[in-house]
Amino acid sequence: MDHHTLTLLQINLLFILMFFTAYFLRKLQIPPIISFLLIGFLAKLWLPHESTKPLELFKEAGIILLFFFIGLEYSFERLKNMVSIWKPGVVDLLFNFFPIFGLSLLFGFDPVTSLIIAGVFYPSSTSIVAKLLMDFKRLASPEAELLIGILIFEDLVSIILLSVLIPMTEFGALEPKTLPVSLVKIVLVLVVFYLIYTYLLPRIQGWLDRASEDENFVFLMLGSVLAVGLAFKGVGLSEALGAFLLGVLIPETRVMENIEHHLSAFKELSIGVFFFFFAYESELVLPENLLFVALIIVLGVVLKIVSTYIAAYFYGMKRKARLRTSLSFVPRGEFSVIIASLDPAVKLISIPFIFATALIGSFLFVIAPKVADKVYPPKKKPPRKKVPKELSLSPSS
């Protein structure tokens, strides 16, 4: 068997293994992200690095397509109307970013590494939480709107954070000019995309609708999404920001439906391969500072529960709904993986943290309604008073 055929066979077996692992672990309520990470670790034992080179395109495309699809869920109008969620979002940020940044500094990490660790710690997993809400039929519950709102807030903060962290990691230190230059670039990009949305898009919307019906439209969209993402990366900004903004531009018409139809399968494949590579390219060694890892795992659960409870209070929820909500927001996932991939040293710390919070968080989500009912049991209805028979009979005429 020649080398090329062997490589293809190994990749085919890898994809089949990824499917069955995700399929069976899902029966145990374990998120797919965990299964892809597990396969990444196992593949180090039998899959040579040369055989994974054909998958490099999917690894690059994973982040870009993920953020493009996140952008499809929003529009500029919807982003402007997120006023009601700012208080819960700020509470979530204050509790889950700044304390871990300070803790990392205390443990001797440099400022850039501390920012990356805080970025890993901060956001809950959009894919895990949204999937659990659907699987357990809680999309119509009072907490669903708040959780989705905070997820949106976290998505936006994480995208901006990535755009700031990428140039910082290139310098390896907090350069005085890095932060203001990155912020200026982000503002300029937002202005350009808003002008395109306001003036250019209405003129070509009709053509886009017609073109999207063509079966070859997938080539245009996939090429455009990847080109925009890589262009942003080339100018020192996050490819995630470019892909997200391009998704925001797409009008909610036939174009969006056709894009989702054509690209969703490629997105799922690319994201799975990205998570696989995150584990496959990680060293199988214990982190040096086990105390720090244990501490952030405990804080990752506790601070999310406390901050989400307080956020639900500001949102106007009752005590029982606040408790149920707070136990449903612990899992970390795709954003934590993406931010951790910026620094190999942080990956060693992040892997046990992501595993632990994803598994513990999924378990807490499942038991949250039962715990809330136990702590705040439903009020028993008073027994109905029996009406005497003679009173219940109508008087005879």
User: Which domains are delineated in the chain?
Assistant: 3-20+28-48+55-374 (1.20.1530.20)
> In this structure, are residues 66 and 250 in contact, taking their beta carbons and an 8 Å threshold?
no
Backbone conformation region of residue 44, classed left if phi is above 0, alpha if psi is from -120 to 50, else beta: alpha
Quick one: which of 196, 214, 198 has its CA closest to 259?
Answer: 214
Please report, rounded to a whole number, the percentage of residues in the chain having pLDDT higher than 70. Answer: 91
Q: How many helices (H) and strands (E) does the chain have?
A: 19, 0
User: Is residue 182 packed enough to be buried (19+ CB in 10 Å), middle (13-18) or exposed (0-12)?
Assistant: buried
Q: What is the torsional sign of CA 78, 249, 243, 22?
A: positive
Residue 80 corresponds to which tokens in the numbers above?
A: 């402007």
pLDDT score of 281: 87
pLDDT score of 346: 92
User: Which phi and psi (to 5°) does residue 103 adopt?
Assistant: -65, -40
| Chain segment 300-330, per-residue pLDDT in tens | 999 999 999 999 999 999 999 999 999 999 9
pLDDT score of 237: 78
pLDDT score of 396: 47
> In this structure, are residues 124 and 332 in contact, taking their beta carbons and an 8 Å threshold?
yes
pLDDT score of 121: 97
pLDDT score of 344: 86
Segments in the chain below pLDDT 50: 391-393, 396-397
The structure's pTM equals 0.80
Distance from C-alpha of 290 to C-alpha of 184, rounded to nearest angstrom:
39
